[in-house]
Amino acid sequence: MLVDGAANARTVVAANDSARAAGLRVGQRLTAAQALLAQFDAVPYDPQGVEKWHRFLAAIAYRYSSEVCLLPHAIVLEVSKSMGLFGPWPRLESLLRADLTDLGFRHRIAAAPTPHTAYVLAGVSDGQAVLTADVMRRALRHVPILKSRLPASAASLPGMGIRTLGQLMALPRDGLRRRFGAELLATLDRLTGDIPSGLENFRPPDVFDLRVELLHDVENQAMLVFPVRRMTADLAAYLAGRDGGVQRFLLRLEHRDGRYTDVPVGLLAAERDAGLLFEFARGRLEHVVLPEPVIALRLIARDLPAFVPTGRDLFDERPANALPMAQLRERLRARLGDSAVYQLGSTTDPRPERAQQVAATANVALEAHPRPTWLLDRPIPLRGMAPLILSGPERLETGWWDDGEVCRDYYVVETAQGQQAWAFCPPGEQVGWMIHGWFA
Amino acid sequence: MAAILALSSLIEARQIWRGREAPARVGDQPTGWKALDAILPAGGWPDASLSEILLPVDGVGELQLVLPTLARLTKHKRSVVIVAPPYVPCVAGWRQHGVDMRRVEIVSAIEKEGLWTTEQCLRSGSCSAVLAWPHQADDRALRRLQVAADTGKALAFVFRDRRHLSNASPAALRLELEAMPCAQIWVRKCRGANVPSQPIPLTRYVH
């Protein structure tokens, strides 16, 4: 049950089915409710939280329509154009329901030619769809006055014996205007669509910021996995709504007294798949050492570039369920570290130590002299008997300008064990062999 | 109880389908070594399978065995992944063998993550070949790699020390390299055919 109001005058804002069965009503004083039912959970109503989730759902709805408006406790979206893309109303409705159910929201959906009618019908019952103006007028006729969301001045109507909208609409307009003011008539006209709805379109925010408070202190990462899964799923839903992706986001693990640990998650390309985002976040999270218990989680995504789905070749030979290379790279980086996956390329420097580097793309001609297939990080001395020289020497004498001077004669040699090595010795001598690579 | 039927009559009536392994397609993955292709049952590497290469020491031509294959795959714009190599691949040398290094991904992983990485790469289906140097891979780990290679339709090459020869292996092909007295290749196991009794000489060449 949700309660709100000053400490000495709390009133019931919402009650679940079993509470209502016991006689609890919305608007009741908390003390009256306690007199009716001995035990219930009273949870304080959080208007900011409601507002936040309201806007979150509007961002989700944005996926289905470009015209989304916020009404108190409801979201209205213009679907007549969307049906061309998503299919007829029953199909679109089931898509919406599936989304809301997946996100864990209870909902009622109604469709009508005007936003305010849809709003009223959703308040009456779930799943009504009136798609033409005639059917809408008939449907409105049976709506009780109490549920028709009329201005406060209309509260006295049932006392006059006018219980449905049909009865109200049948009354002479002049008389209504005189007794109840122009606002009531305007509301009725908005219902029927005789005057424009006057709603302002919702614009989704450009930053995703979601905070989840944990029910108790969490001391190991494994317990964070479940909330993180939920949060990344929400992020993915939000991204799908604005048809964008996320390149970088931040998981903030909040501790007591305002301290927090940040876990940045960076991706090579924009992504928006819920499963992938969760996997990357979990991979990063596993490496974090928690300095103290976590009481809340926050997911902040500011960098939201456009999402470009990777194209696939029609004649692709790979299996149908193949994971694209970019995603594989992300998966490996998430677990092994950001610099774990790399490519090597040639540079124009002739010194073997500097002839290649990560992500070099210099267009270098093929080396005319023999080069090994393995390069040792640092040369190692060749012990034992003198090796058999297969080819050489190739003199490398360079680098005098940058303190990395080398002056070596390189040979291809064969060791006593039958290994072929790339070895060097000082110019002109054939002693003091140093192995620098293997012809594996 | 149903009446007892003779199996032969069922088979003759073609009511029973007898499962057998699909015949391997010949010549899909040539090794680039004519003498080796000639004696291997698949006419090259067993496709979508694990091949094990056993060596006495590093630098006896183990990469030369697979480089023609890697050159062919990278030229067709297929990715190749090298998981935790024992040394740094020398770009100039690999390019001399015709490998397009822009298609070669190198993954540095610590020992215990190596097998996981190899399996992920094989399973992903976007790598055409994965090279790995597992040190402590047991029968189970290798079997996982074999299954992953089959799932992702990739060539898996594992390079291991010769002392593992006495242990059974689920690999579809096992080759042993010998450096002394002369460089040659022994086929120790090949699925789909008997093991040849003679080694194949390995011509080492230096560009």
Contact B63 A373 (CB under 8 A): yes
Length of chain A: 440
Q: How much is the pLDDT for B8?
A: 77
Contacts of A412 in chain B (CB under 8 A): 206
- Quick one: which H or E segment has residue A100? helix A89-102
The pLDDT of residue B105 is 93
* Furthest CA-CA distance within chain A: 117
- What is this model's ipTM? 0.84
- Give the chain A residue whose CA is nearest to the CA of B118: A332
In order, the DSSP letters of B141-193 are: HHHHHHHHHHHHT-EEEEEEEGGGGGS----SEEEEEE-SSS-EEEEEEETTS
Site of tokens 């002479």: A172
pLDDT at B51: 93
List the helix and strand counts (H, then E) for chain A.
13, 19
Q: What whole-number distance in Å separates Cα of residue B165 and Cα of residue B143?
A: 16
CB burial of residue A304 (10 Å; 0-12, 13-18, 19+): buried
Radius of gyration, CA atoms only, chain A = 35
> Is there a contact between A438 and B120 if contact means CB atoms under 8 Å apart?
no
Torsion, Cα B44 B49 B51 B52, to 10 degrees, reads -170
Per-residue pLDDT at B70: 94
Exposure class string for B39-74: b at 16+ Cβ within 10 A, else e: ebbbbbbbbbbbbbbbbbbbbbbbbbbbbbbbbbbb
Contact B66, B158 (CB under 8 A): no
Q: Which residues of chain B have pLDDT under 70?
A: 1-2, 19-27, 205-207
Cα separation, B176 vs B188, in Å, equals 7
Contacts A439 to B, Cβ<8 Å: 59, 61, 64, 93, 204, 206
- Listed in sequence order, the residues at least 6 apart from B200 whose beta carbon sits closer than 8 Å to its beta carbon are B33, B35, B36, B39, B184, B185, B187
How far CA A220 is from CA of A212, B110, B160, B185, in Å, comes to: 17, 24, 38, 52
d(CA A333, CA A135): 57
The CATH topology of domain B47-201 is Rossmann fold (3.40.50)
DSSP A245: -
Give me the tens of pLDDT residue by residue for chain A, a chain 440 residues long.
Answer: 677 766 667 777 777 777 777 777 777 787 787 887 777 777 778 888 888 888 888 887 877 887 888 888 888 888 888 888 888 888 888 888 988 888 888 888 888 888 888 888 888 888 888 888 888 888 888 888 888 888 877 778 888 888 888 888 888 888 888 888 888 888 888 888 888 877 888 877 788 888 888 878 888 878 888 888 888 888 888 888 777 888 888 889 888 888 888 888 877 777 888 888 888 888 888 888 888 888 888 998 887 777 766 655 666 555 556 778 888 888 888 888 888 899 998 888 888 888 888 877 767 788 888 899 999 989 999 887 888 888 878 988 888 888 778 889 999 998 888 889 999 998 888 888 999 999 98
Q: Nearest-CA distance from B8 to chain A in Å?
A: 39
Interface test with A, best of B124, B161, B207 (most A CBs within 10 A): B124
How many angstroms separate the CA atoms of A174 and A163, rounded? Answer: 20
Chain B residues closer than 8 Å to A332 by CB? 107, 109, 117, 120-121
- Are B118 and B132 spatial neighbours (Cβ–Cβ below 8 Å)? yes
Q: Show me where the domains of chain B are located.
A: 47-201
The CA distance from A382 to A364, in Å, is 31
pLDDT the model gives residue A320: 57
Nearest CA in chain A to B97: A373
Query: Strand, helix or coil at A277?
Result: helix
Residues of A whose CB is below 8 A from B90? 352, 356, 371-375, 437
Is the CB of residue B206 less than 8 Å away from at least one CB of chain A? yes
Element (H, E) at A94: helix A89-102
